[in-house]
Structure 1
Amino acid sequence: MTLRLVFMGTPDFAAPVLSELVGQGHEVAAVYTRAPKPAGRGMELTRSPVHRLADSFGIPVETPRTFRDEGVVSRFAEHGADFAVVVAYGLILPKAALEAPELGCLNCHASLLPRWRGAAPIQRAIMAGDAETGVMAMRMEEGLDTGPVGMAERLAIGADETAGELHDRLSRLGADLMGRAVAAMGRGGLQFRAQAEEGVTYAAKIEKAESRIDWAKPAHAVHDHIRGLSPFPGAWFEIEGARGPERVKALRSTRVDGSGAPGELLDDRLTVACGEGALRLLTLQRAGKGPVDAGAFLNGARLTPGARLL
């Protein structure tokens, strides 16, 4: 059944869902996305990934800066959509907007709700050491990711998997899930169930202040911290450089045997002691340079066993 939809999303994570819905032949009346922002050295206005994709499909794009304006809500309602599909849009939708489409708004959320409601569910799941996560199709309410769930898929998290890698897998899984959920909505066959009242956690936005590595923590916690913040914003530590402390991002690691003072370099393979146990740094990035493997990093940094990472 062909449906008339409004799609609302902004980052790379949302783009595959839009492609899936267009590929299924649904009529996307409009795409809502965040307004272009200055980016790059020239600070030129840059369209979001969803904006660029919508343009390639010839779909009208709306970029309101807020939904608090009654005119914006009225314009949204004028599209006459059966319902809206929302994926990492980035703006809060008031009750009037949520109720504007005939069947409401269907959201794709990248966690196993009620765990990790909020802005950064992928990063927080890895940083907490979760063994699994998933995607859920949820009917939106005014609360933060509190609505009933209509469909879900689970996914195991790899022991060394980074947030970037998990993001890409969940994005593909989310596109498939939302395609099936929208089809079920069209048939009137998508049944929703309330979220559990127990097990609620919140995935707060990642702050720069929490990116620094604390080598005094156990190796498993440091490892989860590194992979949870890779590739962005990147967990970091400092080394002593010719002109003082130099910041280095750790983008990939793995847990290994070893012990020593927290931050101590145990060998010539970038094995680092933690508060309990040790890990090996595999991919790193110095300021102003691209990511490199441990061998290339050591050739430039000239660290020797016994050195301390700060």
Structure 2
Amino acid sequence: MRVVFMGTPDFSVPTLTEIVSSGHEVLAVYTRAPKPAGRGQAERKSPVHETAEAFGIPVFTPRSLKGEAEQLHFSSLGAEVAVVVAYGLILPKPVLDAPEFGCLNLHGSLLPRWRGAAPIQRAVMAGDKQTGIVVMQMDEGLDTGAMGPTEIIPIGPDMTAGELHDQMMRVGADLMGRALAALERGSLQFTPQPEAGTTYAAKIDKAEARIDFTQSAEAVHNQIRGLSPFPGAWFELGLGGKPMRIKALRSTLASGSGAPGTVLDDLTIACGTGAVRLTQVQREGKGAMDAATFLRGAGTLPERVS
């Protein structure tokens, strides 16, 4: 099929690779414009941009698709379908309507639960036992389009958002590949989303990253794994006579009780109810390390964290 691909981060790359390897003609790739990054603030191309160039596919990086000139250019490509995976720009109706079969989006939740920007993190933070990935026919609403092929993905009790992200991008690439094959055969079907069960996955706010140990141990554990590896849930620990920000990257539920924030044993910390054992952490300016490595370098811990 004649495809325009629209995506930006590493999550999108396996789907682009799957489409190319399946023999479809990728007419163009749309991605976010390069941004300054690193110490030198040199402009860095997105993972999708670099992958598309490696395949020899033309790349376009408009700041917006709202202008008539951009919309006419998109339409002139003559795509049968557009595939959208974490692109990052709103698609106006003229863009949605330009391809013969519209725009297919790969969304990381079991719609209508967790429509919006951060479905993977929100599912883990809420303690959901399962989620999924769906091929959706895009419309003008916020993830309100009809649903096509769907895969259910279990969320393990200690699974992090990062682990779920990596599993979803692999499963999603295969799912989109199968959806395009069905579209080519004329057998791809869609079902309207149900009205019941709608929730919204708002973008993660920095203020949500600080751990409140007055919450239940389960809530703290879900916050830690839902924000791992980025942006990372954190707390302050007094080391060397000064407070230091520590990111908690992995944890498990543990036995024990005490005033919230009390260090019970090694890196087991009391919560409002129950306790969590931190198994992987990151000090400011350091890489991720397991609890044993952290404790060897930290020395005697204070009685409480904040």
**TM-score normalized with structure 2 length:** 0.98
Q: What aligned pairs does 1:130-149 form with structure 2 within 5 A after superposition?
A: 130-149=128-147
| Partner in structure 2 of residue 40 of structure 1 | 38
* Distance change (3 Å), C-alpha of 1:243 and 1:43: farther
Counterparts of 2:300 and 2:269, CA distance in 1: 12
Shift of 1:300: 2.1
| Partner in structure 2 of residue 198 of structure 1 | 196
| Partner in structure 2 of residue 300 of structure 1 | 297
| Partner in structure 2 of residue 182 of structure 1 | 180
| Partner in structure 1 of residue 168 of structure 2 | 170
Matched, 1:19 2:17: yes
Q: What letter corresponds to residue 175 of structure 2 in structure 1?
A: L
| Partner in structure 2 of residue 244 of structure 1 | 242
Counterparts of 2:112 and 2:256, CA distance in 1: 37
Percent of pairs identical after alignment? 64
Q: Secondary structure at the match of 1:7?
A: strand
Counterparts of 2:118 and 2:299, CA distance in 1: 36
Shift of 1:243: 5.3
Q: What letter corresponds to residue 66 of structure 1 in structure 2?
A: S
| Partner in structure 1 of residue 281 of structure 2 | 284
Counterparts of 2:237 and 2:190, CA distance in 1: 52
Within the candidate set 97, 104, 114, 1:99 is matched to: 97
Give deviations 1:241-275, integer Å, cap 9, x for gaps: 3353211100000111111111111113x111110
Structure 1 residue runs of 4 or more that deviate by more than 3 Å after TM superposition: none
Q: What letter corresponds to residue 283 of structure 1 in structure 2?
A: Q
Shift of 1:303: 3.6
Q: Secondary structure at the match of 2:5?
A: strand
Give deviations 1:125-154, integer Å, cap 9, x for gaps: 000000001100000000000000011000
Q: Secondary structure at the match of 1:217?
A: coil
Counterparts of 1:185 and 1:49, CA distance in 2: 27
Q: What letter corresponds to residue 215 of structure 1 in structure 2?
A: F
Shift of 1:240: 1.5
| Partner in structure 1 of residue 271 of structure 2 | 274
Counterparts of 1:302 and 1:64, CA distance in 2: 52
| Partner in structure 2 of residue 82 of structure 1 | 80
Shift of 1:68: 1.1
Q: What aligned pairs does 1:203-242 form with structure 2 within 5 A after superposition?
A: 203-242=201-240
Counterparts of 1:230 and 1:63, CA distance in 2: 29
**TM-score normalized with structure 1 length:** 0.97
Give deviations 1:48-100, integer Å, cap 9, x for gaps: 01111001100000000001111111111111000100000000000111001
Counterparts of 1:70 and 1:92, CA distance in 2: 14
Query: What RMSD in Å do the two structures reach over aligned CA positions?
Result: 0.9
Counterparts of 2:234 and 2:9, CA distance in 1: 24
Counterparts of 1:262 and 1:300, CA distance in 2: 24
Gaps of at least 5 residues in structure 1 are none
Within the candidate set 98, 106, 127, 2:125 is matched to: 127
